[in-house]
Amino acid sequence: MVVVAAPQIATTGSALWLVAGAGAAITVGVVVALVVVKRPSTGGGTEPGAASRDAAARATFKSLGDGGCSAAIARVVLLGASDASIMNTLEAPVLSRCNADHWSADVIACCTDATALSTVHTCFAKLTPAQRTGLDSAIKPILDATAPSAELRATFAP
């Protein structure tokens, strides 16, 4: 996954769209997919509130890939879109640790349901000491070689 801009959630009729922000530059050869989730009709012509749209977006992420590590880490990467280049670099090693270390369903659900990057730190706090050590060893060289934002560094801090 390559994050090119902060994603936005937009609705049209009964469809929910995850779209890249305005002015997103896409390198030739990179394939960008739009994810569409069909919402049931709410009747009466009223759109559901923000909470309903957010719940639908989280359901979309849960349905990606295997519904486990892939969806959870995709969500974390999207939440860190303000540090897109670093998050793109972190995605593969974090996904690898999630799969190799068999993160618990609780950690995966926490990451998938996270609403802000600042809440992901709470999810990582649920890792076992061995899982945390594996994650730290995978991401430390990347964080040390780059200049992540304070929020991103705090998210991945032990």
What pLDDT does residue 54 have? Answer: 57
> Could you tell me what percent of the chain has a pLDDT over 90?
46
DSSP β-bridge partners for residue 18: 9, 35
Residue range 71-78: mean pLDDT, rounded: 93
Residue range 38-67: mean pLDDT, rounded: 51
| Unique residue bearing structure tokens 């995605």 | 91
What pLDDT does residue 129 have? Answer: 97
Reference 137, options 85, 97, 89; nearest CA is 97
User: Contact, 121 vs 154, CB < 8 A?
Assistant: yes
DSSP per residue, 63-114: HSTTSSHHHHHHHHHHHTGGGHHHHHHHHHHHHHHHHHTT--HHHHHHHHH-
What pLDDT does residue 157 have? Answer: 84
Read off the tokens for 18.
């995850």
Burial class for 136, CB neighbours closer than 10 Å (0-12, 13-18, 19+): middle
